[in-house]
Structure 1
Amino acid sequence: MATTGTKRFIWGFLLVWIILMAIFTFTDLQVSQMLYNEEHSKFGWFFEVYGEHPAFIVLFASGNILFSTVREAQWVKKMLVRLVAGMFILMGGFSMFFMALNRGFELAGGGVMLISLASAVLLAVILQWMLKQVSVEKLSAYNRAAWAGIVIVFAEIMVVNVLKIFWGRMRFRNMEGDYSQFTRWFLPQGIQENGVTAEAHKSFPSGHSANGWTMMVWMLFMPFVNKWRSIMLVVAMAWGLCTSTSRVIMGDHFATDVLSGAFITITSMLLICKLMKVDVYLAMQTNASISLKDKNTPYFR
């Protein structure tokens, strides 16, 4: 059963999303015309480069938690878990560094990929050393959150990219001057010429927005005190809103595109947390630490 805090979060999110979606459904084009500033917006550029990082940080952090947790396990389990966790560590770490170098400094090629991979490995080694100072018992309390985080990221990425292909909505910055190619978000245009590579027709939904809003998953890794999860929620909402707004400024997406990206991520998070029995907000409201030995805490259900 969802806690009171989780229920409030769900209903608050749905109410705000429905209201905004109703408004922007009829003002999409006007909002983009008003905000578009691709050439001169440093704000837009920053979040174009770093807006998606929260999703790959989730993969990197989750992989490291799982990798370290099995250090005292039997060798078969240790090998299997570390093989899978290592894949997520490399995938998340490589993506973080490569996107920063490629988008931020326009660097590309095999050398940049090698530097990104080496940086990910080095950072993982440092993090593993730090996690080794934490007891396995304490670290294991976050195992379920780590698995949930990985599933959430893969779910939202898959849903967003499949919808992009079949929706075929043209991006604002790729339209002609009279905007005759503009279409409403609820009118799918189907697979366009060049299929999966037709980037100009991948406006709906926004991948940047979906990945940016995965910062909300970080709530699951906060200490077992609800006030820290509320603080993380505020930070995540600020990052998600900034990333979403930047996509409209850069002309890559319309307001309804970024709202839909946010909806996919947050809905995926709520559903997967429900299935994997990881509470967004804990049932016990207290400022004191909750004993990790108590098997009645939500993470052990």
Structure 2
Amino acid sequence: MKNKGLWLSIGVFAVLAVVFVFTDWRISQALYNAEAGWAHFMEIYGQLPGAFVGFIGGSVLLALFKFQKTFKSIAGGIGLFLLTFLASAMFWLDALGAQGGETNAPLALLLGLVMLILAVVLLKRLPNDKLASMKPAAQVAFALLFLAGIITVWAVKIPWGRWTYRDILDAGNTALFTPWYLPQGNNGHHSFFSGHTAMAFSVLPLILFLKKDHPARNILLAVLLLWGLIGAMSRIVVGAHFASDVLFGAGETLLWFFLLSKWFKADA
């Protein structure tokens, strides 16, 4: 059944990828609304939940980490701390308005450090078996944030060089529009993939913190998928991405989620 669902998802993704080759521009024309307050809110604050879920994952791993007097242990502990601190700082940078042009890096770093310390202290108060049972879900959450939300997105964004809908409108030259399958090189434009969409779907590991037979699990999954879809739609509405951009941003995140859940033997 799971394999059927996987192949069905791949089929739907492939069909939409082809459809959006011909409909990207028209979809953006129909949905674009520069005055949509909800979409601008999502642009500024929509990445917060994804960053927070990844941060929680890193905090759980830090609380479980056993330091030893070996180079591997010390280096691993420092690396884990720095990446978790980065996730915390990312959260606070966006919370303080970085996506809207308001940057207060010193305060974000301070709040990020305080939140990290508090999270680890509180998590260490949990029973050892309870904390240990959270490890697979935490590993998926932490890895998904960086692999799907940052590394994969920017590995494609930079060389692809696709213009956003609103940048094309500002330039007044519709000839700048290109279909998603044609990379333009590193030209400073970063429409493809959508990082906000990837971050919106990076909340999915939350379901892994619940047992498979938990009555609230399916409801939570529906809520998390809805959040991802709202995040994706908001990017089209504000003109920051085309439909294909958000499709691939969501698709790569869902793929990473599936692979990481298998790798870490999380109960996905």
- How far residue 279 of structure 1 moved from its aligned partner, in angstroms, is 3.1
Alignment deviations for residues 184-239 of structure 1 (CA, whole Å, 9 cap, x no partner): 111222333xxxxx1xx211111111111111122222245354332222111111
Match of 2:20 among 21, 24, 31: 24
Residue 252 to residue 74, structure 1, CA distance change in 2 (3 Å): closer
Equivalences for residues 1-301 of structure 1 within 5 A? 4=1, 6-7=2-3, 9-38=5-34, 40-70=35-65, 73=66, 75-76=68-69, 82-103=77-98, 106-108=101-103, 112-156=104-148, 157-175=150-168, 176-192=171-187, 198=188, 201-280=189-268
- How far residue 262 of structure 1 moved from its aligned partner, in angstroms, is 0.5
Residue 244 to residue 81, structure 1, CA distance change in 2 (3 Å): same
- How far residue 278 of structure 1 moved from its aligned partner, in angstroms, is 2.2
- Which 10-residue stretch deviates more, 7-16 or 248-257? 7-16
Residue 24 to residue 105, structure 1, CA distance change in 2 (3 Å): closer
- Report SS of the residue matched to 2:174: coil
- How far residue 179 of structure 1 moved from its aligned partner, in angstroms, is 1.1
Counterpart of 2:204, as a letter, is M
Residue 155 to residue 98, structure 1, CA distance change in 2 (3 Å): same
- Which 10-residue stretch deviates more, 209-218 or 129-138? 129-138
Contact 1:205 1:261 in 2 (8 A): yes
- How far residue 75 of structure 1 moved from its aligned partner, in angstroms, is 4.5
Task: Kindly tell me the number of residue pairs found equivalent between the two proteins.
Answer: 263
Structure 2 residues without counterparts, runs of 5 or longer? none
Alignment deviations for residues 85-143 of structure 1 (CA, whole Å, 9 cap, x no partner): 322331111111111213366432xxx22221222222233333432331111111121
Contact 1:244 1:258 in 2 (8 A): yes
Contact 2:144 2:253 in 1 (8 A): yes
Counterpart of 2:232, as a letter, is S
Alpha-carbon separation, structure 2, partners of 1:223 and 1:81: 29
Counterpart of 2:205, as a letter, is V
- Which 10-residue stretch deviates more, 175-184 or 97-106? 97-106
Residue 232 to residue 8, structure 1, CA distance change in 2 (3 Å): farther
Please report the TM-score for the alignment, with normalisation by the length of structure 2.
0.87
Give the superposed CA RMSD.
2.4
Contact 1:59 1:88 in 2 (8 A): no
Residue 61 to residue 8, structure 1, CA distance change in 2 (3 Å): farther
Structure 1 residues without counterparts, runs of 5 or longer? 193-197, 281-301
Alpha-carbon separation, structure 1, partners of 2:24 and 2:109: 40
- Report SS of the residue matched to 1:180: helix
